[in-house]
Amino acid sequence: MNWKQIVAVGSVMVVMGYLYMQPVKGLIKPPEGRASAGAAQVAEARPIAKVTVQAVSEPAKAAIGGGLSVKINELEAQLKKASSAQAKLDLQKQLAQQWDAVNQPAPAAFYYQEVAQSSNTFNDWLSAGNRFNDAFKFSQDTTVQPAFVVNAIQAFKKARALDEKNMDAESGLGIAYVNQTSLGMPDPEGGSPMQGIQLLLDVVGKDPSNRNANLNLGQFAMKSGQYQKAVDRFKKMIAQKPELEPYFYLAESYKQLGMKAEAIDAYEKCKDLMPDQVFQQRINEYIKELKN
């Protein structure tokens, strides 16, 4: 497999850890429709540590190895020496793209944020917000997660101020609101998990095939124990386009519902979509557990 295929497999496993190790508070909601006004109680806010691009770049380099870090190190050295604002901006863009190329959203997010602060364009703020959401999703480090969430919310709000009708910014903000409350962080401007869920529901109301909104609604349903809703959501996604990630979540949801035959079938589909020996061995272990 190439690098991106390896990361794709790893991403699925990391997301599963994220789903079960970071339960979201207050996601049980009334049947589809408008969210209830009674938002969930939020735990006392934890201090938000200051996180820098340097702090997240070092572990990211360790993850990708020395060979893939060479170009990034060169660009970082040039950025330190850059004297003009334009030169710095050009290098920040290149660094964001380089981190994207090796699937490391945390450092990419901070560079996109710096670019957006200079350009103040919708696309740059959206890129920053999406990377901060991804950084939260794939991190188990609770010391940096709050900073990812706060930065994501700020970026999506900036993006929506420039294009309030854009559904990508709307769904991104919805995801960030739910993530925020999962950490017990109140929003001084009133963002809540129910507001986040409603933003995602509004997106799928306008665009029923929106992948980002549907995938996250399915994940949030899983984390709140609403596995049948998750099944319905992932089945609709798969009907539109068979993909590894929704099939994997579908299998996990079926397993939680005790629907072993259906779970096994969904796991088998995962193997078809990712013909990698190590991945298939792991899936075979899940299937064996269900058959015992």
Nearest-angstrom CA–CA distance, 173 and 156: 6
DSSP 84: S
CA angle, residues 192, 194, 200, in degrees to nearest 5: 110
Selection from 123, 116, 117, 115 nearest residue 94 by Cα:
115
Single-letter amino acid code for the residue at 263: A
Nearest-angstrom CA–CA distance, 123 and 101: 18
Q: Is the pLDDT of residue 158 over 70?
A: yes
Note the pLDDT of residue 190: 64
169 versus 292: the higher-pLDDT residue is: 169
197 versus 275: the higher-pLDDT residue is: 197
| Section 145-161 average pLDDT | 96
* CATH superfamily, region 3-27+46-225: Tetratricopeptide repeat domain (1.25.40.10)
Q: Is the pLDDT of residue 282 over 80?
A: yes
| Section 20-31 average pLDDT | 41
Q: Tell me what percent of the residues of the chain surpass a pLDDT of 70.
A: 82
Residues 102 and 61: beta-carbon distance below 8 Å: no
Domain residue spans of the chain = 3-27+46-225
Nearest-angstrom CA–CA distance, 128 and 205: 25
Note the pLDDT of residue 191: 67
Residue 26: left (phi > 0), alpha (psi -120 to 50), or beta?
left
Angle between helices 211-223 and 244-256 (to 10 degrees): 20
Note the pLDDT of residue 46: 54
* Residue keyed to tokens 């933003």: 199
Residues 24 and 193: beta-carbon distance below 8 Å: yes
Element (H, E) at 251: helix 244-256
What's the whole-model pTM score? 0.81
DSSP string of 25-64? TT----SSSSPPS-PPP-PPPPP-----HHHHHHHHHHHH
Nearest-angstrom CA–CA distance, 156 and 164: 10
